[in-house]
């Protein structure tokens, strides 16, 4: 029996799948020119190129290619992950030649050494990935489960990327950089990255152009009720609604209503409004009636690194005539300037629909310690009869939630 050459097998499989040479090149992450040269017989591919092509196309040339469809998708994927380490090194060479003007030879060289160590670490880690003890697993209903959100921005250096990779490994998540390009200041410009949360959620994202306004990356929301547990690509603005009080801490109350219930109801309504919105993503610090310490809330928020935090509360006063929304910032917060700017915009937008009072300073633990712009918002007074009606009726709550969400869109 005539022994089929790899060249013949490639042409056979490619045409049977109805793929063009360009499509095969993209699938295999190999240059079109290489595919053309293999098919025309001008080069004999090296073993790993054969492996790479045959696995991407779903046949095993080294195994007498008995059945092209013996690999399940998953197996092929796993193998591709392994093979892409080689591709990664190849990419680095491309980087070196393509951006010679931008990056000095010396820094490229250091980059290569660092990457070799990096790859070594990756491979050894990949092999033991099954042994990861997830730190973020759900252990009880009341535990605050921190979502993971990683945004790759144009101020990251190679060292930052290495650190991000390490930090994520500690969380049981593997990231594999398939393409990285830096500008002359060694800041990230382009990224292609494969993410595997090792819990059934994985994906790829890619961009050739990062700038200050564009965030690329991924998120994994471990909340079992989450409608979007995982996503990659261009990231939406993240807003945390800190839902005031909960559990044994009821907050203020009046005539059968407690602050902790109303804040949760309204937060849930705002979150529902955000579903399907392409610009805003909302996270809550609690989604049920549970007690969460202020430190835990701060920890959750700082791990998530959101763009903005609103801590939702309801006011109460001995003076029945006091009414309207109250806004507070903290003048000891690291980002007090940003907090003030965003709160001013927020107030302006809310004022179109509901009564607002002036912004005040509040010595709040949460406002002081969160590392992002933050506002504490009191959505009216339970002690005022008009506000009470608004806060406790379905119609009123819908109005409050819609007004807040519209304001969030405007300040976005």
Residues forming contacts to Zn ion in the complex (CB under 5 A) are 244, 251, 313
Closer residue to Zn ion (CB): 233 or 251: 251
Distance CA 64, CA 3 (A): 10
E strand intervals along 244-373? 253-254, 257-258, 280-284, 308-315, 325-329, 356-361
Q: State the number of CA atoms in the 13 A half-sphere of 408 facing the CB.
A: 30
Q: Nearer to Zn ion by C-beta: 259 or 281?
A: 259
Shortest reach from residue 109's CB to Zn ion, in Å? 57
The distance of closest approach from Cβ of residue 249 to Zn ion in the complex, given in angstroms and rounded to an integer, is: 9
Separation CA 87–CA 204 (nearest Å): 15
Residue 197 or 243 with smaller CB distance to Zn ion: 243
Tell me the closest approach of the beta carbon of residue 338 to Zn ion, in angstroms: 23
Six-digit token string for 95: 């980087």
Which CB, 212 or 256, lies closer to Zn ion?
A: 256
What is the C-alpha to C-alpha distance for residues 169 and 175, in angstroms, rounded to an integer? 8
Q: How far is the CB of 52 from Zn ion (least distance, A)?
A: 59
- The residue among 252 and 349 lying less far from Zn ion, judged by its C-beta, is 252
Nearer to Zn ion, 88 or 328 (CB): 328
Q: How far is the CB of 378 from Zn ion (least distance, A)?
A: 7
Q: How far is the CB of 157 from Zn ion (least distance, A)?
A: 42
Phi, psi of 252 (to 5 degrees): -75, 160
Task: Report the DSSP beta bridge partners of residue 242.
Answer: 311
Give least dist CB 330 to Zn ion, A.
15
Contacts of 380 (CB under 8 A, 6+ apart): 314, 315, 323, 324, 325, 354, 387, 390, 391, 400
CB atoms under 10 Å from CB of 341, counted, come to 14
d(CA 45, CA 28): 13
Tokens representing 126 are: 């990949």
In 141-201, at which residue ranges do the beta strands (DSSP E only) sit? 148-152, 174-182, 188-196
* Shortest reach from residue 112's CB to Zn ion, in Å: 55
Q: Which is nearer to Zn ion, 191 or 379 (CB)?
A: 379
CB of 351 to Zn ion, least distance (A): 22
Residue 242 or 307: which CB sits closer to Zn ion?
Answer: 242
What are the DSSP calls for 367-400, one per residue?
HHH-SS-EEEEEEEETTSHHHHHHHHSHHHHHHH
CB closer to Zn ion, 229 vs 251 = 251
Q: Closer to Zn ion at the Cβ: 136 or 377? A: 377
Per residue, what are the HEC states of 19-88? Answer: CCHHHHHHHHCCCHHHHHHHHHCCCCCCHHHHHHHHHHHCCCHHHCCCCCCCCCHHHHHHHHHHHHHHHH
Q: Which residue's CB comes closest to Zn ion?
A: 313
The count of residues in the chain is 412
What single DSSP character describes residue 333? Answer: S
Q: How far is the CB of 311 from Zn ion (least distance, A)?
A: 8
């Amino acid at each position: 029996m005539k022994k089929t050459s790899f060249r013949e097998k490639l042409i056979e499989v490619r045409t049977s799948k109805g793929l063009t040479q360009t499509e095969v090149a993209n699938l295999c992450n190999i240059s079109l020119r290489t595919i053309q040269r293999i098919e025309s017989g001008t080069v004999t591919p090296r073993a790993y190129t054969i492996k790479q092509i045959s696995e991407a196309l779903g046949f095993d040339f080294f195994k007498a290619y008995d059945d092209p469809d013996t690999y399940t998708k998953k197996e092929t994927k796993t193998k591709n992950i392994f093979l892409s380490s080689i591709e990664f090194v190849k990419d680095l060479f491309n980087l070196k030649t393509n951006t010679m003007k931008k990056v000095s030879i010396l820094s490229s060289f250091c980059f290569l050494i660092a990457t070799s160590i990096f790859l070594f670490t990756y491979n050894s880690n990949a092999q033991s990935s099954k042994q990861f003890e997830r730190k973020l697993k759900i252990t009880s209903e009341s535990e605050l489960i921190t979502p993971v959100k990683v945004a790759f921005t144009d101020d990251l250096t190679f060292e930052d990327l290495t650190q991000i990779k390490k930090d994520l490994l500690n969380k049981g998540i593997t990231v594999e950089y398939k393409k990285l390009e830096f500008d002359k200041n060694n800041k990230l410009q382009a990224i292609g990255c494969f993410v595997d949360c090792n819990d059934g959620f994985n994906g790829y994202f890619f961009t050739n152009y990062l700038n200050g306004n564009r965030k690329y990356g991924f998120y994994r929301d471990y909340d079992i009720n989450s409608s979007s547990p995982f996503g990659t690509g261009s990231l939406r603005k993240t807003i945390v609604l800190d839902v005031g009080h909960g559990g044994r801490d009821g907050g203020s109350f009046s005539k059968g209503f407690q602050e902790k219930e109303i804040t949760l109801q309204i937060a849930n309504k705002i979150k529902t409004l955000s579903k399907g919105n392409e610009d805003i993503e909302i996270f809550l610090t609690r989604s049920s009636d549970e007690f969460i310490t202020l430190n835990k809330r701060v920890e959750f928020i700082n791990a998530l690194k959101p763009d903005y935090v609103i801590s939702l509360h309801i006011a109460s006063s001995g003076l029945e005539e006091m009414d309207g929304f109250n806004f507070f910032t903290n003048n000891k917060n690291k980002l007090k300037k940003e907090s003030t700017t965003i709160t001013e915009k927020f107030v302006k937008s809310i004022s179109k629909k509901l009564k607002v009072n002036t912004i005040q300073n509040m010595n709040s633990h949460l406002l002081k310690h969160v590392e992002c712009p933050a506002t504490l918002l009191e959505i009216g007074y339970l002690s005022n009869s008009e506000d009470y009606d608004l806060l406790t009726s379905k119609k009123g709550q819908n109005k409050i939630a819609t007004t807040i969400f519209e304001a969030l869109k405007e300040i976005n």
